[in-house]
C-alpha cells in the first residue's frame, strides 16, 4: 500500500501549494474541497490514506464530525488538523477522537513536514500491527486444533463457542504439551478482543520474587534497583487478553492479589498509591489438578472458583491417536520449509512406531520428533532411525548404575518431559536417597535447605526436617 495523503482544504491556492509541497516530499496526494467529497472518498470509495491533513472548518461543516464518523467505521490513518481560528473545545475534541496533532494557520512548512513525518511513522506502525493481527486471526482459528477424532472435534466446537462469548476468566487444563497455549491464542484471535494485545506469561519460568513486578509493574524506588516506572504485563494487556500459564506456581500472596484484580478490575503497581483500572480477558492454564490443590489448601479455593467460569480440558495425544494422520503432514511441511528439505514420504514402519508410542509429551513431543526426523533425513523419506521413541514415561526416567558404580538419572531431550517433570524426579530421588531428610538432600544436590524446601512444597513431596 502506497504512502497516500488526503488533503481536505477549501482554499484553492493553499490547496495547490500544499499538494506541490507534499508531492515533492514523496506522498501520493488526493484532494477534497468539501466534507461531502472527503466523506465519499473515505467511507464509500474506501480510500485509505496514511495521513489526513484537514482544515477544521469547511463550507459544509466541521471536520471533527467527519473524523468521528471515520473512527466509528474503524478506518485507519492519522489525522492532522489545520485551522485559522481553533477553539479550546475543538482541540480537546480532536485529541479525544484520536487526532495526531492540531496546528494553527499559518504554519511553517518545515514545522508541517515534521508533524506529517511523525504522523506517517505512527500510521505505518499501526498498519503493521493490524496486518500482523490479521495474519494471526487467520492462523489461530478453531480449525488450528487439528484432528478428526471425537475429542478433537469437541475441542474445536467448544473453542468456536467460547470465542463468541465475553468470558472474563477461563481455565485450560490438560497434560503438558496438549496445546493449552494454542487454545489461548485461538480464543483471543477468534474472539471480540482480537484487536487488542495478547500477553503470555509462564508463571513457572519467572522467579517468585520478580513475578509480582512483572505482572503489575512498579514505581521508581518501589524496591532496590527500581530506578524508573515500569508498566506490568497486566497493564500492557489492557483491552486484550492475558494468558497465565502454570498458574498453580503462583505463591499465596500473588494468588490473593490476582483474586482482587479479577474481582475489582483494578490494581496498584508496586510502590504505587493510585489504582489502575484494567479491562482484560484472563485465560489461565495448569497441568496440575487445581481442584485437588484447592481442596488441600495448596491453592486458594476462592481464586479457583473465580477462574473456573469455564474449564476446558485438552485431551492427551494417546487418547486420540487417530489424529496422527492429520498432525504429522503439517509438521513435516513446516520443517521442510524451515530447513529447505524435501521430505514427503512417511513409510509404514514410521506410522506403526508413531501409533504404538504412548506420547507422554503429547503434541509437543510429536512436533519435536518430526522436527528431528526432517532435519536429519537425507532423502525424501522420513527416516525411522531418527524417531528414537521410548516406550513410556517410566522408561525415560530410568535409574541405571553407571560404570563407576554411582547411580544416575537419565532424561531425554526430545520434548517428552517438561522441565518440571525432570526437576520433580530429581528432587524426589534426592529425598529417597536421603531418607526424606531435606537438609541431607539439599547437601546432596548442592543447594540450600530453603530452596529445596520450596521445591518440596511445590511438588507436594514427602519430607522430614
Query: At 356, which CATH number?
Result: 1.10.8.60
pLDDT for position 393: 46
Structural domain ending residue among the three candidates 136, 171, 191: 136
Rg (C-alpha) for the chain, rounded Å, is 29
pLDDT class of 414 with cuts at 50, 70, 90? low
% of the chain at pLDDT higher than 90: 41
Structural domain ending residue among the three candidates 313, 343, 359: 313
295 and 369 fall within a common domain: no
In a domain, 428, yes or no: yes
In a domain, 198, yes or no: yes
97 and 207 fall within a common domain: no
Query: At 171, which CATH number?
Result: 3.40.50.300
Nearest to 123 by CA among 165, 77, 157, 81: 77
The total number of structural domains that make up the chain: 4
Q: pLDDT tens for residues 152-180? A: 999 999 999 999 998 889 999 999 899 99
C-alpha angle 312-181-166 in degrees, rounded to nearest 5? 55
Name, in order, each residue with C-beta under 8 angstroms of 352's C-beta and a sequence gap of 6 or more: none
Query: At 432, which CATH number?
Result: 1.10.10.60
Q: What is the 3-state secondary structure (H, E, C) of 377-388?
A: CCCCECCHHHCC
175 and 264 fall within a common domain: yes
In a domain, 460, yes or no: yes
Q: pLDDT tens for residues 61-108? A: 888 899 988 888 878 789 998 887 666 777 777 777 888 888 888 788
Mean pLDDT, residues 229-241: 87
In a domain, 254, yes or no: yes
| Cβ proximity of 185 and 198 under 8 Å | yes
- Cα dist from 356 to 203, 341, 348, 352, 372, whole Å: 34, 27, 12, 6, 19
pLDDT class of 208 with cuts at 50, 70, 90? confident
- Give me the domain span that covers residue 11: 4-136
Query: At 91, which CATH number?
Result: 3.40.50.2300
| Cβ proximity of 8 and 63 under 8 Å | yes
Structural domain ending residue among the three candidates 337, 365, 386: 386
pLDDT for position 311: 94
Taking 90 as the threshold, does the pLDDT of residue 328 lie above it? yes
pLDDT for position 44: 87
Range with the lowest mean pLDDT among 18-32, 136-150, 368-382, 432-446? 432-446
| More reliable by pLDDT, 396 or 131 | 131
131 and 87 fall within a common domain: yes
18 and 127 fall within a common domain: yes
pLDDT for position 404: 45
159 and 277 fall within a common domain: yes
Tell me what the pLDDT averaged over the chain comes to.
85
In a domain, 56, yes or no: yes
| More reliable by pLDDT, 461 or 23 | 23
309 burial (CB, 10 Å; 0-12 / 13-18 / 19+) is: middle
pLDDT for position 32: 92
279 and 162 fall within a common domain: yes
166 and 108 fall within a common domain: no
pLDDT for position 2: 54
pLDDT class of 390 with cuts at 50, 70, 90? low
Element (H, E) at 313: strand 311-313
71 and 165 fall within a common domain: no
Name, in order, each residue with C-beta under 8 angstroms of 346's C-beta and a sequence gap of 6 or more: 328, 329, 332, 381, 382
352 and 302 fall within a common domain: no
Taking 60 as the threshold, does the pLDDT of residue 211 lie above it? yes
309 and 321 fall within a common domain: no
In a domain, 407, yes or no: no
200 and 306 fall within a common domain: yes
| More reliable by pLDDT, 444 or 283 | 283
Amino acid at each position: 500500500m502506497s504512502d497516500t495523503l488526503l488533503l481536505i482544504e477549501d482554499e484553492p491556492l493553499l490547496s495547490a501549494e500544499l499538494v506541490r509541497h507534499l508531492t515533492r516530499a514523496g506522498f501520493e496526494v488526493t484532494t477534497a474541497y468539501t466534507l461531502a467529497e472527503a466523506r465519499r472518498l473515505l467511507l464509500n470509495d474506501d480510500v485509505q490514506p496514511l495521513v489526513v491533513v484537514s482544515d477544521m472548518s469547511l463550507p459544509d461543516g466541521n471536520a471533527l464530525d467527519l473524523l468521528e464518523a471515520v473512527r466509528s467505521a474503524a478506518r485507519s490513518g492519522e489525522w492532522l488538523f489545520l485551522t485559522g481560528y481553533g477553539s479550546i473545545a475543538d482541540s480537546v475534541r480532536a485529541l479525544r477522537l484520536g487526532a495526531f496533532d492540531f496546528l494553527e494557520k499559518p504554519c511553517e512548512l518545515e514545522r508541517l513536514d515534521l508533524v506529517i513525518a511523525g504522523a506517517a511513522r505512527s500510521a505505518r506502525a499501526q498498519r503493521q500491527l493490524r496486518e500482523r493481527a490479521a495474519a494471526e486471526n487467520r492462523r489461530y482459528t478453531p480449525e488450528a486444533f487439528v484432528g478428526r477424532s471425537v475429542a478433537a472435534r469437541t475441542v474445536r466446537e467448544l473453542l468456536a463457542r467460547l470465542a463468541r462469548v465475553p468470558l472474563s476468566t477461563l481455565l485450560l487444563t490438560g497434560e503438558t504439551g496438549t496445546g493449552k497455549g494454542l487454545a489461548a491464542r485461538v480464543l483471543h484471535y477468534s474472539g471480540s478482543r482480537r484487536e487488542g494485545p495478547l500477553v503470555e506469561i509462564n508463571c513457572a519460568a519467572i522467579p517468585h520474587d520478580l513475578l509480582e513486578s512483572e505482572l503489575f509493574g512498579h514505581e521508581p524506588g518501589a524496591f532496590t534497583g527500581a530506578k524508573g516506572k515500569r508498566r506490568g504485563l497486566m497493564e500492557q494487556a489492557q483491552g486484550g487478553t492475558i494468558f497465565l500459564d502454570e498458574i498453580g506456581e503462583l505463591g499465596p500472596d500473588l494468588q490473593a492479589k490476582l483474586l482482587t484484580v479479577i474481582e475489582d478490575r483494578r490494581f496498584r503497581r508496586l510502590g504505587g498509591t493510585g489504582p489502575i483500572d484494567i479491562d482484560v480477558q484472563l485465560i489461565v492454564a495448569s497441568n496440575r489438578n487445581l481442584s485437588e490443590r484447592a481442596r488441600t489448601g495448596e491453592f486458594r479455593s476462592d481464586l479457583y472458583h473465580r477462574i473456573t467460569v469455564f474449564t476446558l480440558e485438552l485431551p492427551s495425544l494417546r487418547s486420540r491417536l487417530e489424529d496422527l494422520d492429520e498432525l504429522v503432514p503439517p509438521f513435516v511441511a513446516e520443517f521442510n520449509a524451515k530447513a529447505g528439505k524435501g521430505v514427503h514420504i512417511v513409510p509404514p514402519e514410521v506410522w506403526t512406531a508413531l501409533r504404538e508410542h504412548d506420547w507422554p509429551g503429547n503434541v509437543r513431543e510429536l512436533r519435536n520428533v518430526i522436527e528431528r526426523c526432517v532435519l536429519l533425513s537425507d532423502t525424501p523419506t522420513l527416516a525411522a532411525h531418527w524417531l528414537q521413541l521410548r516406550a513410556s514415561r517410566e522408561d525415560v526416567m530410568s535409574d541405571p548404575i553407571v560404570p563407576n558404580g554411582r547411580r544416575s538419572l537419565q532424561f531425554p531431550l526430545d520434548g517428552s518431559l517438561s522441565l518440571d517433570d525432570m526437576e520433580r524426579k530429581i528432587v524426589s530421588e534426592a529425598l529417597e536417597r536421603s531418607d526424606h531428610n531435606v537438609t541431607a538432600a539439599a547437601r546432596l544436590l548442592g543447594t540450600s535447605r530453603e530452596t529445596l524446601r520450596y521445591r518440596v512444597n511445590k511438588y507436594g513431596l514427602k519430607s522430614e526436617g
